[in-house]
Amino acid sequence: MFLEKDPIRLIKKRWKLLIFSGVLVALFSLLLTAAFPLKYRADAQVLIISKSRYGVDPYTVVKSAERVGENISQVVKTNDFYQKVMLQTSYSLDMAEFEKLTERKKRKLWQETVNTSVVYGTGVLNINVYHKDQKQAKQLAGAVASALVTRGWEYVGGDVTIKVVNDAVVTKWPVKPNLVVNAILGFLLGVLVMVGLTIKKYYKV
């Protein structure tokens, strides 16, 4: 009697049902994901250069640049920096989506749109911009990098130079929400749920 209700044998016997359940939930996940706006990501990089003083070792200089980068990562989220990005007239920015919002909602959207991170040990600052429009994502990433180069000294002082080392490039396909990851997670969830139901029904757990 035990062998007839061995969970491994039950699962193998019903593998088609498990696959079907996984595919069904994966399709549902894709439909649910499609309800959210798809966003592209544009990436750019700037290098933070701390002016070294006589007798200061290179390691200390790099660590100083890292601290500056961490500070900039916080500043980028502010309304003041947002205004500086708007002043980058060499870029074709369509900010209507932001300007029609209340101040609180605009700040929240800005923080969701622009993300920065420090590459430790290098002094390089990654800039990631997410936008529904592919061209606007690239333009905005370029404008953020330009604002850091031209106005970043206001936040970090005159002993630091910021230079663009990688111009903005944009992904060919949307990255948010991640359709592939969501489909895989949906498939696994469907399979696991059906495994649980199978064991509960036939193994009386």
Which tens digit of pLDDT belongs to each residue from 122-156? 889 999 999 999 999 999 999 999 999 999 999 98
Can you list the domains of the chain with their CATH numbers?
A: 3-36+178-203 (no CATH), 40-170 (3.30.70.1130)
pLDDT digits (tens, 9 = 90+) for 5-54: 566 777 777 778 788 888 888 788 777 777 778 899 999 999 998 876 65
Q: What is the residue type of 167?
A: D
Cβ proximity of 46 and 145 under 8 Å: yes
Do 38 and 174 form a contact (C-beta atoms < 8 A)?
yes
**Cα–Cα distance, 202 to 179 (Å, whole number):** 34
Each residue of 74-101: pLDDT tens digit?
A: 999 999 999 999 999 999 999 999 989 9
End-to-end CA distance of the chain: 15
Tell me the C-alpha distance between 29 and 19, whole Å: 15
- Phi first, then psi, for residue 151 (nearest 5°) are -125, 0
Q: Where is mean pLDDT largest: 1-5, 114-118, 191-195? A: 114-118
CA distance 38 to 36: 6
Closest CA relative to residue 147, chosen from 90, 74, 65, 63 = 90
C-alpha gyration radius of the chain = 25
Q: How many CB atoms lie within 10 A of CB 204?
A: 7
Q: pTM for the complete prediction?
A: 0.75
Contact 119, 126 (CB under 8 A): yes
